[in-house]
Amino acid sequence: MVELTNDDLSIFSSFENVTHVMPSDYIATETSIIFLVSQDSLGRAIGKKAVNIEKLRQVFRKRVIIAPDGSDPEGFVRAFFGNITIHGIEIRDVMGEPAIMMTIDEKDRGIAIGREGERIKAAKAFLMKKFKATIHLRTRRAAF
């Protein structure tokens, strides 16, 4: 069972007050905060023309990212990295824990890693929390 602190409850409450959607989880870094919401609530959470993201950025004074949640590791990874072409996801057992090998194009590597590594770090943290899994990127060169 996950214990929530008063700070966690305050962040969930602020998010819900702005978006009218309850997030399933979040991760805060020094420069941004990443929320997970159910796939069917994603549009409502973001708002028309991303108006809710702008309001949340003013509330938290950080960059705000809203990502879809998933119920299985592969679905979660595909949804979290939805703007990247994923060529393959392979789930292996490494020392008793699942390890997800995601193959992407070399040109998408920067997008997958994110600014200062934030995106891949958040994906690793969410996967560890939700599925006790790790993620590794593999790139492949585009054919000319």
pLDDT at 142 over 70: no
Nearest CA-CA partner of 104 in 89, 87, 117, 118 = 87
Nearest CA-CA partner of 118 in 31, 18, 23, 58 = 31
Question: Residues of CATH 3.30.300.20 domain(s) within the chain?
Answer: 6-68, 73-140
**8 Å CB contact between 137 and 112:** yes
Give exposure, 56-87, as e/b (b: 16+ Cβ within 10 Å). Answer: beeebeeebbbbbbbeebeebbbebbeebebe
- Domain spanning 73-140, CATH architecture: 2-Layer Sandwich (3.30)
* 39, amino acid identity: Q
Taking only the tens place, the pLDDT of each residue in 45-74 is 999 999 999 999 999 999 999 999 988 999
Taking only the tens place, the pLDDT of each residue in 20-33 is 999 999 999 888 99
Q: Which CATH number fits domain 6-68: 2.40.360.20, 3.10.20.600, 3.30.2350.10, 3.30.300.20?
A: 3.30.300.20
Q: Which runs of consecutive H residues, i.e. helices, occur in the chain?
A: 6-19, 42-46, 51-60, 73-80, 109-113, 118-131
pLDDT at 1 over 70: no
pLDDT score of 97: 87
